[in-house]
Amino acid sequence: MFHKEGFKIIGTTLLIATLGLFATDKFVSNAFLQISLYAVLLFFILIVLQFFRNPKRNTKFSDQHIVSPVDGKVVVIEEVFEKEYFKDKRIQISIFMSPINVHVTRYALGGKINFSKYHPGKFLVAWHPKSSEENERTTVVVENKSFGEILYRQIAGALAKRIVNYAQEGMLVEQGADAGFIKFGSRVDLFLPLDSKINVSLNQKVKGAQDIIASLK
C-alpha cells in the first residue's frame, strides 16, 4: 500500500523510468552499459516506492497513552520550555526519520484539534539544534479528557521540501489515523505533560501508531 501523497511522484517516476528503458534499448548498444542503466532505473523506482509506502498498523487505542506519531529513532528526551503554544515546561521527545523510514505522520492521541499552524522556514538538517525553530514545520495540539493537551511538531529536514498536515482546528481525530506526511527526510517532536510516564529510551527505534511513547502515571 502506498500513501496518496506519493501517487503523482510514483506515476512520474514510472513514466520517466519507462521512457528511460525504451531510450536505453534503442540508443545504447553496449550490453554492459545497458544492464547498468537498467539497474539504475530499477533502483530509482524502488527508492521512490519504498519511501511512499504506507503499511497498516495495529494501534492499541487508549486515551491513557501516547503512541509514536512516526517511524524512526528517538533522539531527544528532555524537559524543555515550549514557547509557541503552552509557554511552560514540557517533556520533549524527538523522533528522527531517515530516508528509508516510513514518513507517514499519525495522530499520537485521539481527541480534538485545538491548534494547527504552518510555519515556512529553512531546511537545516533535522538533527540541528535550531531546526525545530527555524525549519519549515507545523505545530498541532490534540486534547482529550484523560491526557489533556499534547503538542506535536512536524519538522522538515535538509531534503524535505514539503510538509503535508491534515489537522484542522476543531476536528475530532482518531489515535493512529493518518495525520499527514513529510516528503524526503524529517523529524517529529512531541511535547507532553511533565507528569507523563515515558516508555521509550534514547536511540530506541519506534513504529508509528504502534509503539507506546508515554502513558499516564
User: Catalytic amino acids?
Assistant: 186
Rounded to 5 degrees, φ, ψ at 158 are -65, -30
Q: Three-state DSSP class for 120? A: coil
Q: Where are the beta strands (DSSP E) in 26-177?
A: 65-67, 72-82, 88-97, 104-106, 111-119, 137-144, 148-156, 163-165, 172-173
**Alpha carbon distance 156, 159 (integer Å):** 8
